[in-house]
Structure 1
Amino acid sequence: MKASLKFLPITILMLVAYGCASDESVEAKKAKLEELRTEASTLQTSILELEAEIATLDPEYAKQNQKAILITTTKTEKGEFDHYVEVTGSVLSKKNVIISAETGGRVLEVPAIEGMRVTRGQVLARIDSETIQRNIDELQNNLDLATTLYEKQKRLWDQEIGTEVQFLEAKNRKEGLERSLASLKTQLDKTVVVAPFNGTIETVQVRLGELVQPGSSMFQFVGESDLFIEADISESYIGVLSKGDSVDVSFPSINQELKTKVSAVGAIINPNNRTFKVEVFLPNLPQVKPNMISVLKIKDYENKSAVIVPAYLILSDNKGDYIYTVEEGVSKKHYIKRGRTFDDKTEVLEGLQGSETLVDKGFREVGDNFKVNISQQ
């Protein structure tokens, strides 16, 4: 039977050649060709069925006649495996303050606008100070008189003329007026609202001509120093993260990366999203601004001598996870116990030693004990 099947293609070619050499019409030749194709299809089906039967009765014969599958390979890695928690954080400032009016009056000038970057001492607004200035002028006149009376009374007292009470009353009046004048001057200074430190005006909450009272909110101001990153971490990592842990930080908007540390770990779980707060120290970087988005990679696990394989090569069936290796030109199925996965790499806890050659391209076409040809590309 096997010998007859080998001559089948030759027989078909002879029949086709004979048909072409005859003087039959084109339609007759087409019909003959279709008939031969049907016969060839029937014979091919019979061949496949017979091969399957032989493979069942004689597995060694099946292995010898199995077509090799073209694959590429890759090596397992053995070395340090690190797992990271990746979360999104936001840059905040400890100098995020509301600037309020410290004295009452009508707003005469508001040079500050939202988004404006200012330096320490720069004027943000001016409040009407006419009343305070008049009180200062009046008090200054009274102080000048009190100073003159005090100086005369002191000269008399030095000459032992007059009473001590008169001298002390003149002195007390002068000093009282000096304190009152200093207080009014302080109020006058507060009519000019200035930036307490370098930063950015987030919101302007006051308008030109508006009447403000002491304590009225005027600006939301964010400083450019003392920045930190705040992120929400799943409660499943409680006890894993602690103060001082290393953190890799990246800023997608400016394509910048840095390494820093966890500066604080929250002790309260947010009941709405089951997370806790983590603060990360941020050095002073000119390009980093408050409210900027960052991506945090916090290491929560490491294995110094792990067996590592590409995650996409791991398959699963009813028995568990497995991966194909290559041994002497044959693919072998190895069941494994996987560990953690990060950055498309998986830690293998059991099943591999770390020196195996893995089936890479073609890993879905092979099976256990399949012949393979390794591509040289």
Structure 2
Amino acid sequence: MKNWILIIGIATIAYSCGSENTDGLAELKEKKDSLKSLYDDIAEQIAVIDQQIKAADTTARLPLVTLNNVEVKPFNHFVEVQGAVETGGNALIYPETPGTVIAILVKEGSTVNKGDVIMKLDADVLQSTLTEVETQYSLAKDIYEKQERLWKDKIGSEVQYLQAKNNKEALEQKMKTIKQQVGMYVIKAPISGVVDEIMPKVGEAAMPGMPVARVINYSETYIKADVSEKYVGVLKEGTLVNVKFSTLGQEFQTKVKRVADFINPSNRSFKIYIDLANIKADLRPNLLADISVRDFTLDTAVVLPSSVIQQDRNGNDYVYIIENNANQNRVKKVVVKVGASYQNETVIIDGLKGNEQYIDKGSRSVQEGDVVEVKK
């Protein structure tokens, strides 16, 4: 009997809980809001009590802070991207046919013109074949010329004349083909420039698909960089840019040479080309460069170090300034509206006029109302 009463009781409670589930959720939310409000009130009261304790405790050591003047000055914002040096030509040279290197006619660092011979491969077998075909062609040509004269004098048959002509032309084409093949054993510079690297040595094998030399043309040197599409309206042909080569310790100003029209759909960027024609530096292909372009400027702005701007739990940006009351340096919280930031400097749009002093060092260890000691 007791078991039945227990089962009925549990079922009744379960039904009751199910029907009141919606009302219970609303109650919980209301209770949470009430507790949060109570928590905020208690936090404020604790802060006030802390201030009173600090004011009453004459033995307490005051927090040590440093002050700086709020600056009013010009502000510039820059777009920063990274690019790499490229040249008008950077050609890897590959042999068209396999062979053994028998001669290297240039040295690394040599200046060459397009078409200059750089290297020769062993073509003795093919050269012998060419000599043999040239001899056959010489004979076939003599026979053809005789048959042609006889045919004009109506002597001999047309078949003999046509056979002689065909044999001469076939050997002529064969000789031309072999000469082209022999030419493949002579490796030439595809562009004018400087021989930057020679890979094989005399006696080593050269194979198609394996480079034997590199020639670089420095007549046209530039930087190529990828820039986010949001700066399409900022970067145009002729835009001034600052270029810094960290590895060379050099920095200078130049112009954008060309802006590509195509936007890469995979990373939403477009290419810019920066002129280096008048730059005297030890520039090399693929040398990294830091590029900065001014995209925003203010002639006069209230500017603070970004590191002193804090944010409260309500999402408000604020800074601490000092007010002198009764010969005491007291901390005051000032809510500010921030603007653009660049290199640890932030524009303050609203909240400060520029005649205040803000807490720099020590700003993270004080709160509003604290009496502090200012380090001179």
Q: Same fold (TM over 0.5)?
A: yes
**Letter of the 1:224 counterpart:** N
Structure 1 residue corresponding to 2:79, chosen from 57, 81, 84: 84
**Letter of the 1:340 counterpart:** A
The SS at the match of 1:124 is strand
**Letter of the 2:287 counterpart:** M
Structure 2 residue 203 is matched with structure 1 residue 209:
yes
- Displacement, 1:128? 0.9
Structure 2 residue 349 is matched with structure 1 residue 349:
yes
Structure 2 residue corresponding to 1:320, chosen from 295, 314, 317: 317
- Displacement, 1:309? 0.8
Structure 2 Cα separation of the partners of residues 107 and 368 of structure 1: 85
Distance 1:335 1:147, change over 3 A: same
Structure 2 Cα separation of the partners of residues 171 and 304 of structure 1: 86
Residues 147 and 164 of structure 2 are in contact (CA less than 8 Å); yes or no, is this contact kept in structure 1? Answer: yes
Structure 2 residue corresponding to 1:221, chosen from 196, 214, 220: 214
Distance 1:333 1:76, change over 3 A: farther
Distance 1:196 1:277, change over 3 A: farther
Matched ranges for 1:82-161 at <5 A: 82-87=77-82, 89-92=83-86, 95-110=89-104, 116=109, 118-120=111-113, 121-161=115-155
Structure 2 Cα separation of the partners of residues 52 and 368 of structure 1: 10
Structure 2 residue 286 is matched with structure 1 residue 291:
yes
Structure 2 residue 255 is matched with structure 1 residue 259:
yes
Residues 195 and 216 of structure 2 are in contact (CA less than 8 Å); yes or no, is this contact kept in structure 1? Answer: yes
- The equivalent of 1:240 in structure 2 is 230
- The equivalent of 1:13 in structure 2 is none
The SS at the match of 1:357 is coil
Kindly tell me the number of residue pairs found equivalent between the two proteins: 294
**Letter of the 1:321 counterpart:** Y
Matched ranges for 1:28-67 at <5 A: none
**Letter of the 2:202 counterpart:** L
The SS at the match of 1:322 is strand
- Displacement, 1:290? 0.8
Structure 2 Cα separation of the partners of residues 179 and 368 of structure 1: 101
- Displacement, 1:210? 3.1
The SS at the match of 1:150 is helix
Residues 93 and 222 of structure 1 are in contact (CA less than 8 Å); yes or no, is this contact kept in structure 2? Answer: no
Structure 2 Cα separation of the partners of residues 259 and 52 of structure 1: 61
- The equivalent of 2:31 in structure 1 is none
Structure 1 Cα separation of the partners of residues 349 and 369 of structure 2: 21
**Letter of the 2:355 counterpart:** T
Structure 2 Cα separation of the partners of residues 127 and 102 of structure 1: 11
Matched ranges for 1:12-31 at <5 A: none
Residues 311 and 341 of structure 1 are in contact (CA less than 8 Å); yes or no, is this contact kept in structure 2? Answer: no
Residues 109 and 126 of structure 1 are in contact (CA less than 8 Å); yes or no, is this contact kept in structure 2? Answer: yes
Distance 1:326 1:144, change over 3 A: farther
- Displacement, 1:142? 1.8
Residues 325 and 356 of structure 1 are in contact (CA less than 8 Å); yes or no, is this contact kept in structure 2? Answer: no
Distance 1:160 1:228, change over 3 A: farther
Per the normalisation by structure 1, the TM-score is 0.59
- Displacement, 1:350? 3.2
- Displacement, 1:74? 5.7
The SS at the match of 2:303 is strand
**Letter of the 1:196 counterpart:** P
Residues 224 and 274 of structure 2 are in contact (CA less than 8 Å); yes or no, is this contact kept in structure 1? Answer: no
Structure 1 Cα separation of the partners of residues 202 and 103 of structure 2: 6
Is there any run of 5+ residues in structure 1 with no aligned partner, and where? 1-48, 54-68, 270-275
**Letter of the 1:183 counterpart:** T
Structure 2 residue corresponding to 1:170, chosen from 161, 164, 173: 164
- Displacement, 1:102? 1.6
The SS at the match of 2:119 is strand
Structure 2 Cα separation of the partners of residues 256 and 122 of structure 1: 37
**Letter of the 1:191 counterpart:** Y
Residues 81 and 226 of structure 2 are in contact (CA less than 8 Å); yes or no, is this contact kept in structure 1? Answer: no
**Letter of the 1:223 counterpart:** I
Residues 72 and 360 of structure 1 are in contact (CA less than 8 Å); yes or no, is this contact kept in structure 2? Answer: yes
Encode CA deviations 1:115-171: one digit per residue, 9 max, x unaligned.
645423444332112122222222222222222223223333444444444444433
Distance 1:305 1:216, change over 3 A: closer
Is there any run of 5+ residues in structure 2 with no aligned partner, and where? 1-51, 57-64
- Displacement, 1:335? 2.3
- Displacement, 1:342? 1.2
Encode CA deviations 1:330-350: one digit per residue, 9 max, x unaligned.
998642122232134322333
Per the normalisation by structure 2, the TM-score is 0.59
- Displacement, 1:111? 5.5
**Letter of the 1:192 counterpart:** V
